[in-house]
Amino acid sequence: MSYSEMEEKLSSYLGDQYSADDWKDAKTMLFSGEHNVGACLRNLELLRKKYIPRRPRPRKNMYLDIEANEGDSEEEEEEDGDYDTQDQYVYWFIMYYVPHHFLGTATVYIAEHLHSKGFPVTMSLWLLGQLYVVSDSPRTIASSLPASHKFSVKDYYRISDKECVAVERSTIKFPNPLWVRVKSGMYKGVTGYVFDPDQSDLFVDVLVVTREFPYPMLSGCEALLDRSHLLVDNEVTDIIRNGEIIGCSYKGQRYYRGLLLRKFHRYQLEVVACPHADDIRLHLQSGFDTPFIKKSIVAFSKQFLHVGDAVRIITGAVPSEIGTVVSINHGFGGSACIKSTLDGHREELEARLEDVERVFWVRDAVRVVAGSYLGLEGHVIQMDKDLFRLCQGVSMEKVQVSRYYLDHHYQTCTMQSHLPLYQHFEPPPESQSIEIGDYIEVLVGEHMGKQGIVTWSPGPQAIGGTQLWFQDESPQTSTLHYTEYYSGPPSIQIPVAFVQRTRLPQTIKFTKEKGYDLKPGDVVRVARGPEYQTKGIVQSVDFPKARLTLLSESDHSLIDVPIGFVMKILNVSLDSFNNVISQEVFVARTTFKCQDVVTRCITPPPVPLAVPSDSSNSISAAHNPSSSNWTAWNLTQDIDGANLNDPSSGVNLSSLTTNPWTVDAQDIQDGIDARVEQLKDSVSLSFDHAKFYKRFVSSACPDPFCGAALEHYHIPAKDLSPAPPRKRKQ
């Protein structure tokens, strides 16, 4: 309708009562949207509220006129709120009928069309094929539908206020900044940084690590965009903010500090309260919003805070006070009860986790839980602000690691002279029920042949005839992944007896050799069950009951799930230097003042060198190892307890100066000076009176293989050199 046509309609309808000046503002508002119906209606509604007063509040009882009291004001406010709701435009619920194989595409097309006409549109989160549209009447919606789909709409329903609130909550904006995880599409599983302060529609701008580089890269490579690899042409433009170049635009894509800015539908994202440090490693490397990212890494490190750890209060009534954690709650923002000594009195203080920091000391045993040294165990030897220098427990290698990537490594070992009795564990029977997250195939019925992931299931109590819901992942639905209003494959309801499980997930299994290959500190994801897709860090493992407790990274809640329902993502190895363990070695020399080296396996050395028979201090062969792998074997003399100046020590110094097959002090010094030279000769275990120990050590925590024994050999690392390959059956 044009402006002149509207004038004629008003004049014919109102007759003598029509005055152009009285309707001037209304006509202006009605044509203020420039073909945007939604904007016109909103402007007209504001004008109506300005000139039309609110209706008076009716009495609850026409026969009662009780004097006002204190409670009336609250009732008036509640009723005023009800009338405010009535004054606003309401949601009209559209349910339309189309053939099933066109259901998804029709929904998306109609939503996009109405959105282009200016209508606020929300797709249903519960059932595909339903839309929520804000309008003054169904007639307005019907007149705006595309001609090809006008007959697809079956009915219009005006929804209740409660459902209206639920719809509005489903479109609440994400905080900015925020961490989110992509649930579907090419970037499924990727953690991103919300970079969209406006969020004017259902799409959110997220900074992610690109998976499609504009230049050749290895498949599966994760890296920041390197601008130097882009062709120097007019297609590369700078992105400038506050006079600083913070990114570039290339072939329609925008990159900020090497991160790709990509739009994702809000329904494709889930909030991550505290991501794993390795998931945001490249975000930190990019230097984009460094304060926020560092704050997230600090929050990640506090997930490993345990009872008994030392902490320092950094804010509050007693700053810089050091205490011990006596209880901790990781949920609802996180809090801890700290025991401290104030003015000679022991007190317990409540503090938020963000108000405390972990305290490490030199010589603390620690384990690296993130970064390039993931799994390394050692001791703190130097602390420099946030960077700690560690000495690895096996190779004595010294590495530098951020303090936020460390966790205290408490391990109590008990020495035993015999192998403890083997504890036999029988795993519980594998669950045959259909759980949330299982991939199923329909065997009979109208949906026969369809496959998808279960979105709801009654669980272990399921019996024949019980219903479940699954998302159809047929080729027709897969084409909708990149459309504007795609909210996931359609949900289908079907009896449990009609389906069977397929594509079983690679969850943790029990083996006779290793038991459950799982330990505290491992990062796992729930692959099936009510906690499907929950990702977190293992806090404790109950092997007899085959259950574990993990700390969810999304809401910091502790979740108890069966071990068979999870799959391991990151394996926190007890030792990241496994490539040097179990290798055959020669004992080249000893220096007696080195740390112990822990190895899982060592083989007896080859036959020693032939020496003159008249030598009183020859290099004798070691005692032959027993046929039992668990027999302890020791050599006679411990050099640590020997005094070379004491005749009672049993060392004949005079013979050491004349016999070329003996070792004197000068030989030891020469060996120290020539450590860089590789010794090629093998020697026996009794060389230089070195003493070996072999004992059984039962590890109390962690126990990765359900009672497996560890073997400790006390051999200085620099006294070992790789042995050449031995012949078969030698």
Residue ranges of E strands in 304-397: 310-313, 322-329, 335-342, 345-352, 356-358, 365-368, 377-384, 387-392
pLDDT at 175: 78
pLDDT at 1: 62
Q: Which of 230-239, 391-400, 439-448, 586-595 has the lowest mean pLDDT?
A: 586-595
User: Distance between CA atoms of 369 and 290, rounded to whole angstroms?
Assistant: 21
- The Cβ of residue 449 has, within 10 Å, a number of other Cβ atoms equal to 10
Among 524, 517, 514, residue whose Cα is nearest residue 560: 524
Q: Would the pLDDT of 366 be above 80?
A: yes
Torsion sign across C-alpha atoms 110, 116, 122, 126: positive
Q: Identify the band that residue 553 occupies on the pLDDT scale cut at 50, 70 and 90.
A: confident
Q: Identify the band that residue 26 occupies on the pLDDT scale cut at 50, 70 and 90.
A: confident
For domain 89-169, is the CATH number 3.30.70.100? yes
Residue 313 contacts residue 320 (beta carbons within 8 Å): yes
Q: Which of 164-168, 229-233, 236-240, 340-344 has the lowest mean pLDDT?
A: 164-168
Point out which residues pair with 378 in neighbouring strands.
366, 392
Q: Identify the band that residue 476 occupies on the pLDDT scale cut at 50, 70 and 90.
A: low
Summarize the confidence of residues 390-400 as an average pLDDT. Answer: 85
Please give the DSSP secondary-structure letter assigned to residue 677. Answer: S
Query: Which residues make Cβ contacts (< 8 Å) with residue 15, sequence separation at least 6?
Result: none
User: What totals of helices (H) and strands (E) does the chain contain, helices first?
Assistant: 12, 39
Residue 375 contacts residue 574 (beta carbons within 8 Å): yes
Q: Name which residue leads in pLDDT, 424 or 99.
A: 424
Residue 685 contacts residue 619 (beta carbons within 8 Å): no
Q: Would the pLDDT of 206 be above 90?
A: yes
Residue 26 in tokens? 């209304």
pLDDT at 531: 86
For 170, phi then psi, to 5°, come to: -70, -15
Q: Report domain extents, the chain.
A: 89-169, 179-296, 439-502, 581-730
Q: Which of 276-280, 358-362, 469-473 has the lowest mean pLDDT?
A: 469-473
Q: Would the pLDDT of 524 be above 80?
A: yes
Residue type, 183: K
Q: Name which residue leads in pLDDT, 100 or 164.
A: 164
Q: Identify the band that residue 411 occupies on the pLDDT scale cut at 50, 70 and 90.
A: low
Q: Would the pLDDT of 622 be above 60?
A: no
pLDDT at 346: 83
DSSP string, 227-255: GGGS--STTEEEEEETTEEEEEEETTEEE
**DSSP element (H, E) containing 455:** strand 451-456
- Which pLDDT tens digit goes with each residue over 136-155? 777 788 888 887 777 777 67
Query: Which residues make Cβ contacts (< 8 Å) with residue 313, sequence separation at least 6?
Result: 319, 320, 321, 322, 323, 338, 340, 349, 351, 355, 356
Residue 451 in tokens? 């496959």
Question: Distance from first CA to last CA of the chain, Å, rounded?
Answer: 100
**DSSP element (H, E) containing 84:** helix 72-87
Summarize the confidence of residues 174-178 as an average pLDDT. Answer: 82
User: Distance between CA atoms of 718 and 52, rounded to whole angstroms?
Assistant: 91
Q: What is the CA radius of gyration of the chain?
A: 37
User: Distance between CA atoms of 118 and 109, rounded to whole angstroms?
Assistant: 15
Q: Residues 330-338: contacts with CB within 8 Å, 24+ apart? A: 330/303, 330/551, 330/556, 330/557, 330/558, 331/555, 331/556, 331/557, 331/558, 332/556, 334/302, 334/556, 336/305, 336/311, 338/311, 338/313
pLDDT at 350: 86
Please give the DSSP secondary-structure letter assigned to residue 636. Answer: S
Q: Identify the band that residue 241 occupies on the pLDDT scale cut at 50, 70 and 90.
A: confident
pTM for the predicted model, two decimal places: 0.47
Q: Which of 101-105, 125-129, 603-607 has the highest mean pLDDT?
A: 125-129
Tokens 């963000």, located at residue? 354
Summarize the confidence of residues 346-354 as an average pLDDT. Answer: 85
User: Distance between CA atoms of 518 and 538, rounded to whole angstroms?
Assistant: 9
pLDDT at 696: 32
Q: Name which residue leads in pLDDT, 710 or 721.
A: 721
Q: Would the pLDDT of 232 be above 80?
A: no
Q: Would the pLDDT of 689 be above 70?
A: no
146 SS3 class? coil
Average pLDDT taken over every residue of the chain: 69
User: Distance between CA atoms of 18 and 231, rounded to whole angstroms?
Assistant: 67
pLDDT at 489: 58
Q: Would the pLDDT of 378 be above 60?
A: yes
